[in-house]
Amino acid sequence: MTSTPEHEVAVEDGGHLAGVPDEFQRLWTPHRMAYIQAGPEVLREDCPFCEAPKHPDPERLIVARGETAYVLLNLFPYNSGHLLVCPYRHIATYDQATSEEVAEIGALTQTGMRVLREVSNCDGFNLGMNQGAVAGAGVDAHLHQHIVPRWTSDANFFPIIAKTKALPQLLGEVREAVAHAWPR
């Protein structure tokens, strides 16, 4: 251990630790522990998409609010900037949405794509709605559309081999950039 003043944390010298140095990089993602500890089925008493609008925007990662729908960052994103567009109303499927909700979800999706292009220089998007648990919806009781930014160079082996996604930015930083760039 190196000697440090009282107000600093001691850092161990890696040269004296057990193990053999190798060519692997280590990806430390402690924020994922909340997701891992929740297990395969995240138990929720309240719908997270009904709860989010009741709180301050930064606290719940909301980047924009409309009349019938709002936009927030996905807490467990596929890529940095992964947005969700949700109606305020608690409905499960797209066919239950009113024409006003459909129009605003579409408009917010278009704006989200423009903003993500501006702040992250992405090359494309995956857009989609998983309707029902059987279709892969993590929150199947509340309709939400995914906007996943993609880059030509973002394909790698992490998701395939290690079920891991390398995210280059923290959620708070992404939320601030997207919310700041969102047209008023």
- The residues carrying an active-site annotation are 144
Q: Which residue(s) pair with 71 in the sheet? A: 64, 85
**First-last CA distance in the chain:** 52
CA distance 94 to 88: 13
CA distance 168 to 118: 17
Buried residues in 78-95 as b, exposed as e (16+ CB within 10 A): bbbbbbbbbbbeebeeee
- Listed in sequence order, the DSSP H helices in 26-98 are 33-38, 48-51
